[in-house]
Chains A and B, each alone.
Chain A
Amino acid sequence: MKKDKDKILGKVTGDEYKFGFYTDIEQDSIGRGLNEDVIRKISEKKNEPEFMLEYRLKAYRHWLNMEMPGWANLNIPPIDYQDLIYYSAPKQKTKPGSLDEVDPELIETFNKLGIPLEEQKHLAGVAVDAVMDSVSVKTTFKETLADLGIIFCSFSEAVREHPDLVKKYLGSVVPYADNFFAALNSAVFSDGSFCYIPKDVHCPMELSTYFRINAANTGQFERTLVVAEKGSYVSYMEGCTAPQRDENQLHAAVVEIVALDDAHVKYATVQNWYPGDKEGKGGIYNFVTKRGICKGDNSKISWAQVETGSSITWKYPGTVLKGNNSKSEFYSVAVTNNHQQADTGTKMIHLGKNTSSIIVSKGISAGYSNNSYRGLVKVARGAGNARNFSQCDSLLLGDKCGAHTFPYIETDNKSAVVEHEATTSKIGEDQIFYCNQRGISTEDAVGLIVNGYAKEVLNKLPMEFAVEAQKLLQVSLEGSVG
C-alpha cells in the first residue's frame, strides 16, 4: 500500500500537457535583442501613428532605469532581455479580409486548440480574437457586433482605426511606469484585443481572446483594453496555451479595463500556458499586470480566473473603485503542481464612497510547487463605508508543496469594514479512503474534492468555459495525491 502511494505520487508526472505541439509556419520576425531601433521597427511593422511610437519609446526609456521586482515569493532565474525576440508573426499575405485568406495552417492550429475560427462552427454566442505570437490572426463575429456599435478587434487594428479611443484610455489604468513588466510591455507590446461597448449596450455574446505562443525564443507581450461606456455590459474571456519546450519563455501582458457609470464588466481568464515538465524544465514565465477601474458611479468589475499553467506566475488583477457605490469581485483558483511557482492575488483600492469588494481565492498546491496568495485591500481616507470581504483558502496535496498567504490591509477611513478569512486544508488520506471504499478511484476522488473546493469560483465562469475549466483542474492534478 505504501508503495502504491509512492507510485501515485510519482504519477504526478503522468499528466501530459495537451497543447504542447508546435506549428511549423513561416515567421516574420525581428532579430534578438531590445533597443530603440527594435521598438521603431515594431511600430513600423504595425503601421502605427506617431503617438503610439512616442508612447513606446517613453516607456522603454523609463524601463531602462527600472529593476525587476524582487519582493515576490518566487525564485526567478535571471532573464537576459537581449536574448529574446520581441516580434514574431506568422507570415500572411497582407491583412486577411475573410477566412479564405487566412493560412490553412493557422486555421488548423486553432482547430487543434479547440478554437475554430469559422464562425458557424464556433460556440454559439462567443466571439473570438485569435492571437498567435505577436499578431491577431482573426477576429470572429466582428460585423455582427459592429451592428450594435461594439468594437471588438485586434489591438493593432484599434490603434489604426480608433486612435482617439486608444489615445484616451491606453495607460489610463496601468501607466507605463507602473512596474517593470508593465513598462516593458508598454514599450514592445505586439497585439491583443480591444473592445469598446457603447452607452447602454448589453453585449449579446461572450467576447474572448485566445492567446497562443508558437515561435521559439519569443516573448509574448499582449495588450488588452476593455472600455465599457455608461450603462453597458460585457463579459470577456481569455485563454492561453503554448508549445512544450525546454527553454523558458517570457509572457508579460497588460490588461486595462475601464467601467463608466452603471457599467458592468466581467473578465474571466483560463490560463494554461505550458507549465514546464515534471523536473521543472521549461515553461512560461507569466508576469502580468491586469487592472480595472470602476471609474463611474455604480459600476462593477468582476474577475474570475482559473490558473493552471506557467512555470512562474506573477499577477495581481485588481480594481480601483473610484466611482461611488462601485463594486468589484475577484474569484480565483490557482493550481500549482510539480515545480511550478505562483505568487498571485488581487488588489482592491477603495477610493469612492460606499464601495464594496469581495475576494475569494482558492489555491491548490501539489507536487513540489509553491503557491502564494498576495492581496492588498486599501481603503482611502475619502472612501466612507467601504466594505471588503476576503476569503483565502489553500488546499495541499501531498507534503512536498507549499502554500502561503500574504494579505495586506491598509485602511485610512474608520468607517471601513474589512473582513479576512483564511483556511488551509489537506486532502486527507481518510477522505480518499472513504471514496475508495465506495468504489471511487483515487484520481476521481481528487477530481471530486478539488472541483468541490473550487466550485464557488468555477460557478463564476461563463458556462461555456466552466466545463473546460473543470476538466483542466482535474488534468493538472492527475495523480498528485500522496
Chain B
Amino acid sequence: MQMLKIKDLRVTIEDQEILKGFNLEVNAGEVHAIMGPNGSGKSTLAAVLAGRDLTVTGGKVLYNGEDLLEKSPEQRAKEGIFLGFQYPIEIPGVSMVNFLKTAVNELRESRGEKPLSASDFLKLMREKKELVEIDSTLTNRSVNEGFSGGEKKKNEIFQMAMLEPKLAILDETDSGLDIDALRIVANGVNKLKSKERASIVITHYQRLLDYIVPDFVHVLYDGRIVKSGDKDLALLLEEKGYEWIKEEAGA
C-alpha cells in the first residue's frame, strides 16, 4: 500500500532553491535510504516532511492519500510521522519522563485511547529503554540537556520506540556515532520494521546500511534524486564516493 508520494517537490530557503523537483514513493513495509553529499538537500527533505516552516514553491506530498503539507507538525506526528533529528534540541527543565508522557498521551488521545496510567507508562519506558540500551539515569534528566552526542541520538531512537510511528524519518542519525551506538540505532529501526510501517533513513555514509538493510537506495544530488537502486548502490558509493554521481548528473 502506498504511504507517501512526493511529486516534483520544490523548496526554497532564503531565496535559494534547495529541493528542485524531488520525487519519491514509499510503500508500507519498505525501508528507503537516501544518500548524498553535503548540501544536496537531505535535511531539507526531512524538515519539510516533518512540518518545518519552509517555503514550498511547487509540487505536492501525499501521505496516506492526503495532502501532508496542509497539516501542522503536531498533526503529522499524530498521524504517525516521526523525525529523528540530526541535532536533537535541548529543553532545560522538562524531564524526559514528563515530555514523553505528554507526547505518548497526546498520540493516544488522537487515536481515541485513554491516557496511560503512571505505572503502565513507566513499564513501557523500561521496556523500550532496554531495547535501545539507554542509560536509565538519562530519562530522569531534562530533555537532551547535557547529553553527549551519542546519547542524544540514542534518545531519538528511544523516543521513536516509545511513539511507534508509521513513517520514521531518520536524519543522519548515524553521524558521529561509534560502532556500538550505530548497532543500537540500527537495532531500533529494525525492531520497528513491519508490514504497516516504513522508514526513510537519511545518511551520508554507507556504514549504517551494514546494519539496516534498505529495500531501496536513492542518491540525492542538487535537490533531486539522480540515481536509485538497491543496497548494492550504497556499496558502490562507499567505494567510488560521490564524484562520479556529480559528473553523471552534470553531464
Contact = CB atoms under 8 A, between A and B. Distances in A.
Interface of A: 1-2, 4-5, 425, 428-431, 433-442, 444, 448-449, 451-453, 455
Contacts of A444: 102, 106
B103 to A, nearest CB: 4
A452 B52 CA distance: 24
A431 B100 CA distance: 14
Contacts of B89: 428, 430-431, 433-434
A436 B72 CA distance: 8
Contacts of A452: 91-95, 98, 142
A439 B78 contact: yes
What's the interface size class on B, roughly? 20 to 34
B107 A439 contact: yes
B94 A433 contact: no
A1 B69 CA distance: 10
A442 B76 CA distance: 14
Nearest to B47: A433
Given A444-B102, A448-B102, A452-B142, A436 B93 contact: no
A441 B77 CA distance: 10
Nearest to A427: B91
Contacts of B50: 437
B97 to A, nearest CB: 12
Contacts of A440: 74, 99, 102-103, 106
B110 interface: yes
17 contacts: A2-B53, A4-B72, A433-B51, A434-B89, A434-B143, A435-B91, A437-B77, A438-B159, A438-B163, A439-B78, A439-B106, A439-B163, A440-B103, A448-B98, A449-B94, A452-B93, A452-B98
Of all A-B residue pairs in the complex, the 3 with the closest CB atoms, nearest first, are A452-B93, A436-B73, A439-B77
Contacts of A442: 74
Nearest to A441: B74
Contacts of B83: 437
B73 to A, nearest CB: 4
A431 B91 contact: yes
B150 interface: no
B144 to A, nearest CB: 9
Nearest to B54: A1
Nearest to A436: B73
Contacts of A5: 53
B93 A438 contact: no
B73 A433 contact: yes
Contacts of B37: none
Given A439-B74, A439-B106, A439-B110, A434 B85 contact: yes
B121 to A, nearest CB: 15
Which of B106, B107, B163 has the most CB atoms of chain A within a 10 A radius of its CB?
Answer: B106
A437 B50 CA distance: 7
B98 to A, nearest CB: 7
Given A437-B74, A438-B100, 12 more contacts: A436-B51, A436-B73, A437-B77, A437-B82, A437-B85, A439-B77, A439-B78, A439-B163, A441-B74, A442-B74, A448-B94, A452-B98
Contact of B103 (A4, A425, A438, A453): A438
B103 A455 contact: no
A2 B55 CA distance: 10
B99 A448 contact: yes
Contacts of B72: 4, 436
Interface string B34-60: 000000000000000011110000000
Nearest to A425: B92
A442 B73 CA distance: 10
Contacts of B142: 452
B88 interface: yes
Contacts of A1: 53
B84 to A, nearest CB: 10
Nearest to B52: A433
B191 to A, nearest CB: 19
A436 B91 CA distance: 13
Which of B72, B73, B76, B163 has the most CB atoms of chain A within a 10 A radius of its CB?
Answer: B73
A440 B92 CA distance: 17
Contacts of B51: 433, 436-437
A4 B70 CA distance: 12
A431 B98 CA distance: 15
A455 B98 CA distance: 13
A439 B94 contact: no
A438 B82 CA distance: 7
A74 to B, nearest CB: 29
Nearest to B50: A437
Nearest to A5: B53
A429 B76 CA distance: 17
Nearest to A438: B103
Contacts of B102: 440, 444, 448
Contacts of B98: 448, 452
B77 A438 contact: yes
Nearest to A454: B93
A310 B106 CA distance: 34
A441 B93 contact: no
Interface in B96-121: 98-100, 102-103, 106-107, 110
A448 B107 CA distance: 16
A335 to B, nearest CB: 15
